[in-house]
Amino acid sequence: MKRVLIFLIATMLIVSISYARNYNKAEPEHLDLKTFKEKVFDFEANTEWKFEGDRPCIIDFYADWCGPCKKIAPIMNELAVEYYRKVDIYKVDTDKQRELSQMFGIKSIPSVLFVPIDGEPKMFSGAYPKGSYVQMIEEILKVK
């Protein structure tokens, strides 16, 4: 009986540590042109919108020098943790990824693109409070 109890405790501990390690990895992923085409939309292979991802995503178009971008960065980090494995959170540096910025007509930053599994993506410009992003996730991405 004692061995079974020790085995169960050890198993629960291993599962907890494994979950915690993965959970701590929940952070926005930076995309470049290549990874964007693999994970979001391959605009060279498709003329019409065809989402490449397995789950809905949010793409934060930002720049390091942008004050409002810095304001929403911690919000995007929190959303990456809270929606881990439900919504992928990506970041695109508009200074380094000019082709992507031009493709989406980014004129002001931050601009945040919400991409549902089915349907067209929706772009929002400006810094919003976290509650607004949560509402957009629920309404546009259909994720609770």
The model's pLDDT over 91-142, given as tens digits with 9 standing for 90+, comes to: 999 999 999 999 899 999 999 999 999 999 999 999 999 999 999 999 999 9
User: Which tokens belong to 95?
Assistant: 């200074």
Kindly name the residue from 66, 75, 80, 112 that is annotated as catalytic. Answer: 66
- Asked whether the beta carbons of 30 and 93 are under 8 A apart, the reply is yes
Report phi then psi at 101, rounded to 5: -60, -45
| Averaged pLDDT of the chain | 88
What domains can be seen in the chain, in order of their start residue? 27-140 (3.40.30.10)
21 has a pLDDT exceeding 70: no
68-87 burial: b if 16+ Cβ within 10 Å, else e: ebeebbebbeebbeebbeeb
Q: How far apart are CA 130 and CA 135, in angstroms?
A: 9
Is 69 an active-site residue?
yes
Is 57 an active-site residue?
no
Output the pLDDT for position 25.
64
pLDDT band, very low/low/confident/very high, at 22 (cuts 50, 70, 90):
very low
Q: How far apart are CA 81 and CA 77, in angstroms?
A: 7
Kindly name the residue from 40, 57, 58, 69 that is annotated as catalytic. Answer: 69
pLDDT band, very low/low/confident/very high, at 26 (cuts 50, 70, 90):
confident
